[in-house]
A and B are shown apart, each in its own frame.
Chain A
């Protein structure tokens, strides 16, 4: 696995990709989410946790196919649904979308728009 880079998109609330992201446009469509309308495409999505629908794995794989997927996810707790969506994106299309767990303190330090690099070994580096 090679390095993955992207600008942080810090979401205050967890997002369910199904019902929350349109894989055609890459945008947030969850009307209840504070950042509705924001584009996830190519961003390193930083959020406390995944949420909601078990269909989010399909939406992630489809977004990867369509080229609208986030570059990576940084979460405070493991999310099996996103991890499996990412595994299928890799299996079907050879596209890597790392889903990385970071400590809460680390997540809270990351500012929106910060350039983030995720190394081949899963280490996370960002510009303060």
Chain B
């Protein structure tokens, strides 16, 4: 409770409000401090007061043999995951709790979520309300069931102040390509920082997977906790609704050149050499796993390429029921759950080059695991995994 009150002081809130659920990111081991903290909670017999899901941890508890790092660190990581489970949180171990029907809050619901991509998705795509609850405060909110009445919990703070409009030189084909979304996310994060922005110029009804990719990248290059996409997110049926019927503070154009530059920044490796492909950051949805299997068809991953797909254990179970997991594994794809290939030592040769379709993975992997990265669409990644070298289709980008 001391942490929740401290949070109220920092945010200037006048009161606390109840939350109906929490998503806790504190279960990922970042050193002994993280264990010291949870030990305090366990010793104090704390227990979560609201339904609580857990974010990724340091290792795949269902496939621990995939961990290639120091066994002592793995043990500390596992202990931390167990401790959070013992506080009454569900062992979901996913960064995409919004893919679980029972953990999806509805429009307007007040919750306390950690994990930057989940926060952005919760506010933007579900229209539920959370601030950026970092480690420690997320579990404190789950235990007390309360958060400060501030920031994105309040309607007026959800108003878009910045309009980002796609310029006329952005080709129609790119506007409807999956590969645009992580790149647009990187630009959104840079342009918006922590300001709520609205993106204008995309066809209505964009898929949850595209919006997931957009938000995850935006929350990596910036502190984006909420964005609107006109016609696709629930508080932006129109541009005027996203602005809450007021004038924007700024209107910026996003041109093709800026998008291409952001795309190129995500690629640090030169040439066609490829040692690994990583998909599923944030965790792959059932629809994405289905697509990967369909793209592979009868083909298999090249023997010299390691292809890893990260997903949640519940989504994996649902995919297994449909035969998708077996299909992917037979094609040489490794399925990783409970963690992610850029927070844990999973890849055989992390130095890379590693190809990914994720703006977030491309952003963090060089610092976290020392990987050199090639960014491309999911289709490029699968084609490259099969070919054994980098293949990229620049068609949607106007050929360059």
Q: Is the CB of B33 within 8 A of A58?
A: yes
Q: Provide the bound-state CA to CA distance between A83 and B334, in Å.
A: 39
Enumerate chain A residues within 8 angstroms of B194, measured Cβ to Cβ: 49, 77
Minimum C-beta distance from B279 to chain A (A): 19
Q: Is the CB of A80 within 8 A of B367?
A: no
Majority secondary structure, B binding face: helix
Most chain A C-beta atoms within 10 Å of own C-beta, residue among B33, B36, B134, B268: B134
Q: Is residue A128 contacting chain B, with contact meaning CB distance below 8 A? A: no
- Of A3-11, A15-23, A112-120, the segment with at least 4 beta carbons within 8 Å of chain B is A15-23
Known: A32-B363, A87-B6. A78 touches B11 (CB 8 A): yes
> How far apart are A113's CB and chain B's nearest CB, in angstroms?
25
A88 to B41, CA, bound (A): 12
A62 at the interface (CB under 8 A from B): yes
In the complex, chain A residues 59-117 whose Cβ is within 8 Å of any chain B Cβ: 59, 61-62, 64-66, 77-78, 80-81, 83-85, 87-89, 91-93
- B222 lies within 8 A of chain A by Cβ: yes
A59 x B364 contact (CB < 8 A) = no
A88-B136 in contact (CB<8A): yes
Contact status of A50 and B223, CB under 8 A, knowing A57-B134, A57-B135, A84-B6: yes
A54-B115, A92-B36 known; A62-B30 Cβ under 8 A: yes
Q: Is the CB of A62 within 8 A of B34?
A: yes
Q: Please indicate the chain B residues that have their CB under 8 angstroms from the CB of A29 in the complex.
A: 367-368
Q: Is the CB of A65 within 8 A of B32?
A: yes
Residues of A with C-beta under 8 A to B136: 57-58, 61, 84-85, 87-88
- Which residues from B are CB-within-8-Å of A32? 221, 265, 363, 366
Interchain CB contact (< 8 A) of A62 among B32, B219, B364: B32
A88 with B3: CB separation less than 8 A: yes
Query: In the bound complex, do residue B367 and residue A19 qualify as a contact, i.e. CB atoms below 8 Å apart?
Result: yes
Q: Which of A59, A77, A84 contacts B7 (CB 8 A)?
A: A84
Query: Can you list 13 A-B pairs, Cβ within 8 angstroms, ordered by A?
Result: A49-B194, A52-B222, A54-B132, A58-B28, A62-B31, A77-B194, A84-B134, A84-B135, A87-B3, A88-B33, A88-B37, A92-B40, A93-B33
Give the B-binding residues of A (Cβ under 8 A): 14, 16, 18-20, 23-24, 29-32, 36, 49-59, 61-62, 64-66, 77-78, 80-81, 83-85, 87-89, 91-93
Give 20 A-B pairs besides A55-B135, A66-B31, A88-B33 with Cβ atoms closer than 8 angstroms. A19-B367, A24-B31, A29-B367, A31-B366, A31-B367, A32-B363, A54-B119, A54-B133, A54-B138, A58-B26, A58-B31, A61-B136, A62-B30, A78-B11, A80-B132, A81-B134, A84-B136, A84-B137, A85-B136, A91-B2
